Structure 1
Amino acid sequence: MIIRQYLEYSYNILKKNKILAYQLESVIILSFVLKKSKSWIYGFSETKINNKQLTTLQNFLKRRIKGEPIAYLLGFCEFWSLKIYVSPYVLIPRKETEILVEIVLKKINIDTKKILDLGTGSGAISLAIASKFNFINITATDISKKIINLAKYNAKKLHINNINFLISNWFSNLKNNKFDIIISNPPYISYFEYLFLKKQLKFEPTKSLVSHNNGLADLYKIILHSFKYLNNYGWLILEHGYKQGSILKKILKTNQFQNIMQYHDIQQHYRVICGQKILF
């Protein structure tokens, strides 16, 4: 089979199984397996694909039509123009989370020395920030060694050296450290919502997605303890579910945060909220 024939076959299979970006994904998978650029794929469409490559491609197609995200097939994705390696025990970084990064970058000033990233996963948020500000000391935490090891691997591949990766259940291993900015993209989906989203999220770790108390338990815990770990005039910046903005605003006010700001995602839903610690 030649490239042109395979692409036609792949398009039909993925389209039939309701993969929206079926053409793009076909080319991405083929490019990965053949170890060639997408432009090469189009330019040499009469090139023959060998049997070993066809077997690998067929396996990838089977996994994809079962719903496995393409990032898990390839082992990486792009976030903030960085190549981030992922695995099934971390969430795949989402495009909307880049909004969180944008807001953090705007809050950084000459006095910003230390940032805390709670629940770092693949390390994508910390790595994006560190790629812009290599003079800031970032502490990135997560609950397990295998997750932290993956984040460390990403930092090594990107030659980023200003992140301290730490195993910690939220604040449990931070002792008395204080930070200028605390950021997190914690689990915020309710169990009820997860029932409707399970089909599209079934390959990703549930514990990184779902939280008790209608999706608010982890967000509440972070807000409740962050004040203690922030320097004066420091910021807490959180990603959240699109229906949670109003209640989080109230929780932040109750916990002494000021200058509370909310930010929309591309669909005009509130997606990120931040509050500032100010003590006179």
Structure 2
Amino acid sequence: MNIKTWKKIALKKLHKIDNFQLDIDILLSYVLKKKRSWILCFEEHVLDEKKIFFLNKLIERRLHHEPISYLIHKKEFYSLNFFISKRVLIPRPESEILVDLSLKKIPLSGDILDLGTGCGNIAISIAYYNRNCNVTGIDYQEEIIDLARYNSRKLYVKNINFFCSNWFTNLSNKKYNLIVSNPPYLSEKEYFSSKKNIFFEPVTSLFSKKDGFSDIIHIIKNAKNYLKNKGWLLIEHGWKQKKIVQDLFKKNFYIHIKTYKDLNKLNRMTLGQIIL
């Protein structure tokens, strides 16, 4: 069976999935280890039985709405390619604004902490584009930290370190110029009413108690103890959470509080500064 014939069969199976034509080309590129342009030019290339079997398995998983990024173990973020697994949240384009803001707040050098680093996409992107800063990324499982370390090595980023900590539990007395986080912020209702593909991602990275505010409250309350004078806290949150998040910043004595919109013009990132 050649590529052209297999694609016709796959197209019939996946026609109800969003972006199904692109997904098929991406899966072919992944399995054949060829660029998409090659796939499009050489549709007469004959596929061996092992590759057909592997491709069909991936198609079945995609039919059940498993995200394409988990199928190919890769996601681009801030023009960098990250290896991912089902242990971590899939990086979102909206979160690139966290990197933008962090790089602006720490234009020369400084110490930065990324809470809940996942695959390390935010922490590594900051360190990659500002080699003069020192970045630390933490998460609650060693397997996640190992994944983030792998990505930092793969991208040759050396001004970064990772270690295991459940939020602030294992942090030393070191203080930072900026703390950034994309914590869980979905309420139970929001989580269970989300699209099917979200259920493949780790629930601990998405759902938070107290109507989605439990982790946000904990971070805002405790981060000020780990910030240097004039240090910044930057958090991603739900688009309906702006007012409550800003009130939490004010209640905990942050100043210069400002909320930024994401790519869809929704209020998603809030930062505040601590003056000691």
**What is the TM-score of this pair, normalised by structure 2?**
0.97
- Is 1:266 aligned with 2:263? yes
SS in 2 for 1:225: helix
Does residue 179 in structure 1 map to residue 176 in structure 2? yes
What is the aligned partner in structure 1 of residue 80 from structure 2? 82
For 1:276, what is the secondary structure of its paired residue? strand
Identify the residue that residue 19 of structure 1 maps to in structure 2.
Answer: 17
The answer to whether 1:34 aligns with 2:32 is: yes
In structure 2, how many angstroms separate the alpha carbons of the residues matched to 1:259 and 1:249? 10
Number of the residue aligned with 2:163: 166
Partner of 2:10 in structure 1? 10
Secondary structure of 1:173's aligned partner: coil
Counterpart in the other structure of 1:203: 200
- The letter of the residue matching 1:6 is W
Deviations 1:46-98 (A, max 9, x none): 11111111100000000111111111111111111111011111111111111
* Structure 2 counterpart SS, 1:197: coil
Q: Which blocks of at least 5 consecutive residues in structure 2 are unaligned?
A: none
SS in 2 for 1:202: helix
Q: 1:96 aligns with which of 94, 97, 114?
A: 94
Q: How does 1:93-132 map to 2 (within 5 A)?
A: 93-110=91-108, 112-132=109-129
Q: Offset of 1:199 from its aligned partner?
A: 2.3
- Displacement of 1:188 in angstroms is 0.4
**Structure 1 range deviating more: 206-215 or 190-199:** 190-199
**Counterpart-to-counterpart distance in 2, 1:109 and 1:93:** 24
Q: Choose which of 42, 50, 54 in structure 2 pairs with 1:52.
A: 50
User: Counterparts of 1:200 and 1:246 in 2: how far apart (Å)?
Assistant: 29
What TM-score do you get using the length of structure 1 for normalisation? Answer: 0.96
> Could you say which residue in structure 1 is the equivalent of 2:71?
73
Residues 210-253 of structure 1, C-alpha deviations (whole Å, 9 max, x = no match)? 00000000001000011111111111000001111110001101
Query: 2:149 and 2:13 mapped to 1: Cα distance?
Result: 37
Percent identity (aligned): 45
What letter is aligned with 1:76? K
Cα shift readout 1:114-164 (whole Å, capped 9, x = no counterpart): 000000010000111111011211110000111101100111111111111
Which residue pairs with 2:130 in the alignment? 133
Which secondary structure state, in structure 2, belongs to the residue aligned with residue 92 of structure 1? coil
Say yes or no: does 1:231 pair with 2:228. yes
| Deviation (angstroms), 1:196 | 0.6
* Equivalent-residue separation in structure 2 for 1:253 and 1:129 (angstroms): 27
RMSD: 1.0
One-letter amino acid of the structure 1 residue matched with residue 22 of structure 2: L
Q: Look up the equivalent residue of 2:10 and give its one-letter code.
A: S
Q: Which amino acid aligns with 2:262?
A: D
Structure 2 distance, partners of 1:209, 1:198, is 13
Deviation at 1:198?
6.1
- Residue in structure 1 matched with residue 152 of structure 2 by the alignment: 155
Alignment equivalent of 1:212, drawn from 209, 219, 222: 209
- Give the count of matched residue pairs: 276
Matching of residue 246 in structure 1 with residue 243 in structure 2: yes
Q: Unpaired segments of 5 or more residues in structure 1?
A: none
Query: Which string of whole-angstrom CA distances, capped at 9 and with x for unpartnered residues, describes residues 22-67 of structure 1?
Result: 1111100001111111111111111111111110000000011111
Q: Distance between the aligned counterparts of 2:57 and 2:257, measured in 1?
A: 49
- 4+ long deviations beyond 3 Å: none
Residue 156 of structure 1 aligns to a residue whose secondary structure is helix
CA shift for structure 1 position 192: 1.2
